[in-house]
Chain A
Amino acid sequence: MEARIIAIVTEHFGIDPAEITPTTTFEDLDMDSLALAETVVVLEDQLGLELPEIEGAFSPAVTLAQAAEAFAQLRATAAAAS
């Protein structure tokens, strides 16, 4: 999941992969709240998952690893429910 998220973020937002590690936060990537909301939408679309809310889903201080963890949990919950 972490690698997927890093790949999506680098590709969609034109970020140099060398700039990113799992401990990179959204803030480190200069994302404001709107860019962050857009990122969440892109991640949802690409991962086929839906978070309960978009804005405020992640704070700018959240790392990509933590975001990956949240999506992984969502996937596990969705799988258990189906």
Chain B
Amino acid sequence: MPDPELPDPEPESASEVPGPGPNPDPRPAPYNGPAASPGPEPRAPGPGPGSATPALADSTIAVSGATGFLASYLLLHLLPQGTRVVALVRKPPHRAMASLALALRSAGAPAETVQRVAHQVQAVQITLDRPRLGLSEGEFQAVADSVDAVLHCAALTKLHGDAGELHRTNVEGTRQILALAAAGRRAPQLFHVSTAFVAGARLDGVVPERQLEASGFLTPYEESKHRAERLVHDWARTQGRCATVFRPSVLLSDRTALPRAPQHTYAVLAAKLALFLRHGPRALLDASSAPLDATGRLTIRLLGAPDASINLLQVDAAARAMLRLAEQATTTDTSDVPPGARVHHIVHPTETPVTRVNEALQRSVPWLRLALVPERPCPSGLERAVDLYGAEATAYLGLRRRYERTSLCELERRRLVRPPAPVDNPYLDAALTPPLMAR
């Protein structure tokens, strides 16, 4: 007999069944301008017995970064339940809606879910880092007043991006999103997507689920995300509000993304590697001081700790856990909870050794051997090129830290979510298949 609380593993099919009866919505209709009007609001199906998160199902949520990789997996679960979404987007609304639908299809949404976009999602074009998100006072207030929650997913995710640009999008953008959550007359719940990498240069030990002091950073991205998270902690304290901070680790999918749809970090890495290495070992040889070995393999030494690990989590498991925590935050009586931001690591219980990732890459490029070395005298031209080219990944070859996981362990103990499956070799192989080779 399955536990009745455990969400269905395929909610998009189960929750397509509308709820038991009409769902009178006592709240005002969601914000209706300045974007193209979606027309009369269709009646959302009731939460229904199969719904994983009934309180969210009955909500209107402002989602920034709604066209991105993570948000597409969150919407994959929210839309079939009837959640109304105000997508805060930077592209013109019609283009953003097309991108959002493409991202959803890429995440595996069935046609019925994609069709819901037209009825349940309203795109509002914003300028994230401008006061009032670049909206007029009236527009800004109308958006703020129309939502029960604000889910801030938007970020510039280039690890080595320009520090100024990272600051504008990630820090100033968060400041404007906080202003939106502060302005809403329903005192919307705030859900902020941070990252496990705000832990920065803490290479060892266990990272706690609470606000972290800045203690050095490996990339400008994580520094900007740390500053953004700090704004959220300060905001919750000074406004006397509760907020939720999600800190996901590296999110993976074993689906090959559709062309032009958002991809997970490691798929981008695999695609870049495939492009870089596509002419085979001999073409690269003159850039390399190391000869091919007897089996014709070329060794590339990567600077890192041979026992380094990285936390990899299936994006679908992350989305389920985040929504379950969001549901909990929405239904918890906060009257006797002290204000502040609650931090949840959205991470896998088991760290993945970097050598296992390298082995997976070697399986897709059989003539390649990646060696993790603590020192690398006389790097070859090829090795230097790989460092530069793969900078997104080579930043994280020296970590041995783990993450406190109290929140997720508690959900798993109460059987509100399933523990994520192991990130095994078949999963890694699928996640690291370069899209060009998969198509």
Contact = CB atoms under 8 A, between A and B. Distances in A.
Nearest to B267: A34
Contact of A34 (B95, B258, B268, B278): B268
Contact of B436 (A29, A30, A41): A41
B99 interface: yes
Interface residues of B, number: 13
Contacts of A30: 95, 99, 260
Contacts of A12: 259, 439
A38 interface: yes
Nearest to B259: A13
B178 interface: no
Interface in A21-67: 29-31, 34-35, 37-38, 41-42, 54-55
A15 B271 CA distance: 20
Nearest to B269: A34
A31 B271 CA distance: 14
Contacts of B268: 34
B259 A37 contact: no
Contacts, number: 30
B151 to A, nearest CB: 23
Nearest to B275: A37
Q: Which of B259, B260, B439 has the most CB of A within 10 A?
A: B259
Nearest to B95: A30
Among A13, A29, A34: residue with most chain B CB under 10 A: A34
B376 interface: no
B278 A31 contact: no
A31 B275 contact: no
Given A12-B439, A30-B99, A38 B271 contact: yes
Nearest to B260: A30
A38 B260 contact: no
Given A30-B99, A34-B268, A14 B259 contact: yes
A13 B436 CA distance: 11
Given A12-B439, A30-B99, A38 B258 contact: no
B157 to A, nearest CB: 12
Contacts of B99: 30
Contact of B259 (A35, A41, A54, A55): A35
B278 A29 contact: no
30 contacts: A12-B259, A12-B439, A13-B259, A13-B260, A14-B258, A14-B259, A14-B260, A15-B259, A15-B260, A29-B260, A30-B95, A30-B99, A30-B260, A31-B260, A34-B268, A34-B271, A34-B272, A35-B259, A35-B260, A37-B275, A38-B271, A38-B275, A38-B435, A38-B436, A41-B275, A41-B278, A41-B436, A42-B436, A54-B275, A55-B275
Interface of B: 95, 99, 258-260, 268, 271-272, 275, 278, 435-436, 439
Given A35-B259, A41-B436, A55-B275, 19 more contacts: A12-B259, A12-B439, A13-B259, A14-B258, A14-B259, A14-B260, A15-B260, A29-B260, A31-B260, A34-B268, A34-B272, A35-B260, A37-B275, A38-B271, A38-B435, A38-B436, A41-B275, A42-B436, A54-B275
